[in-house]
Structure 1
Amino acid sequence: MDTNEKQTDTKPLGALLAAAVSRAVPVVAGIEDKALDARTPCADYDVKALVNHLVHVVVEFQKLAVKQDSDFSSTPDYVAEGGWRERFAREAEALVEAWSAPGVEEGTSGSLGMPARLVGSMALLDVTVHAWDLARATGAEYAADPAVVGELLAAVERLAPTGREMGAFGAAVPVDPHADPFERMLAGTGRDPYGA
């Protein structure tokens, strides 16, 4: 059992991102145009804004994988450009490829100056949590990969103080004592896993 836990802890980011992307792409592909102004669990984002943010995340974190600087100062309107569902699928696959390269988890990434593995975990967190946000907003089915959740529980714990300071995470939400790992992870980011 300890061996399995150790393997989960050290699973390559590329493999974890592949698992997360395989579950996120169908959610984005299934979003209808009429749902773009629907509210999401992210108070500052409707569906359109969250799609734009998520596409931008998968584009910019490709740069961080190759130790280049990213730019989150503004978010392009990918939805207005058209073909955003296909663009997300393409860019998400490119993200997986970028974070699967040999040596990608070594050293630090870009101007963030953070360990590369933690930076990759941030991309994993965004893809996973925002896929859940969009599924919740649009009524789609979504279940996170258990290995991804295992990685993210530790990442959220590490990132939470800074995330709350920067406004990226809300205050932790209390969960049922029998909450599953995904519910605990969502709650750690300030999301109510049971909310509407």
Structure 2
Amino acid sequence: MNNRHALRVVNARFTELLGTAKEDDWELPTPCSEWNVRDLVAHVIGGHAMVTSLLTGEELVAAPGDTVEEWAARVERAAEGEGVLERVVSHPMFGELSGDALLMIRWGDVCVHTWDLAQALGVEFAPEPGLAEAALEWLVPFGPALGGSGRFGEGADPGPGADAFARVLAITGRGARPVAGAD
């Protein structure tokens, strides 16, 4: 899976879903227990700013009023930079890794948070075919460290026969959760 393409796909899905949110929806709780939709969006924007900074070497910080669309475009432009995939960067949680690996982690994070947003809004979300399998490539090796980081819920076994996205959700501490508002 091309990580630049995957980043564009998940950014588009997150932005599209966020575009359906009504004014009252910004205060809805998300599966990230301490975040509402507003906090989740701020996290995605902040992650885009951090990754853009790591890829470009510029010190960038999101400002109040910045939008997901603006930062998605910035991180996508940074990902297209000359030699960016081979560049070695120092991620605060994962340590030194290639720009390509950084992009994989970024789109994986946005993909999972798109599911979180969908849960808050009470709609269905499943990633495009192949994305969940590709996300597992980096999540499985890092899985045990995620729960202990304090940034993710404790991972769980999704059970026999679980599809790739159910495994992604389980590794990131989400488990199998019903769609919000569903009976």
Which TM-score band (shorter chain)? 0.7 to 0.9
TM-score, normalisation: structure 2: 0.84
Do 1:23 and 1:142's aligned partners in 2 also have CA atoms closer than 8 Å?
Answer: no
> Which residue identity lines up with residue 92 of structure 1 in the other structure?
A
Kindly state the Cα deviation for residue 183 of structure 1 after the two structures are TM-superposed: 0.9
Separation in 2, partners of 1:56, 1:115? 19
C-alpha spacing 1:88/1:53, structure 2 compared with 1 (3 Å): same
Separation in 2, partners of 1:122, 1:70? 19
> In terms of mean alpha carbon deviation, does 160-169 or 26-35 score higher?
160-169
The percent identity for this pair of structures is 25
Kindly state the Cα deviation for residue 100 of structure 1 after the two structures are TM-superposed: 2.6
C-alpha spacing 1:193/1:70, structure 2 compared with 1 (3 Å): farther
C-alpha spacing 1:156/1:132, structure 2 compared with 1 (3 Å): same
Kindly state the Cα deviation for residue 145 of structure 1 after the two structures are TM-superposed: 1.9
Kindly state the Cα deviation for residue 176 of structure 1 after the two structures are TM-superposed: 3.5
Kindly state the Cα deviation for residue 68 of structure 1 after the two structures are TM-superposed: 4.8
Secondary structure of 1:150 counterpart: helix
C-alpha spacing 1:152/1:68, structure 2 compared with 1 (3 Å): farther
Kindly state the Cα deviation for residue 93 of structure 1 after the two structures are TM-superposed: 2.2
What is the root-mean-square deviation in Å for CA atoms of aligned residues? 2.2
Residue in structure 1 matched with residue 14 of structure 2 by the alignment: 24
Q: Note the residue ranges of structure 2 that are not aligned, 5 or more in a row.
A: none
Residue in structure 1 matched with residue 96 of structure 2 by the alignment: 114
Separation in 1, partners of 2:114, 2:104? 15
Are 2:40 and 1:45 equivalent residues in the alignment? no
Q: Note the residue ranges of structure 1 that are not aligned, 5 or more in a row.
A: 1-10
More helix by share: 1
Do 2:27 and 2:38's aligned partners in 1 also have CA atoms closer than 8 Å?
Answer: yes
Kindly state the Cα deviation for residue 101 of structure 1 after the two structures are TM-superposed: 2.5
Kindly state the Cα deviation for residue 187 of structure 1 after the two structures are TM-superposed: 0.7
TM-score, normalisation: structure 1: 0.79
Residue in structure 1 matched with residue 106 of structure 2 by the alignment: 123
Are 2:90 and 1:90 equivalent residues in the alignment? no
Kindly state the Cα deviation for residue 69 of structure 1 after the two structures are TM-superposed: 6.0
Higher relative contact order (CA 8 A, sep 6+): 1
Are 2:143 and 1:160 equivalent residues in the alignment? yes
Do 1:69 and 1:110's aligned partners in 2 also have CA atoms closer than 8 Å?
Answer: no
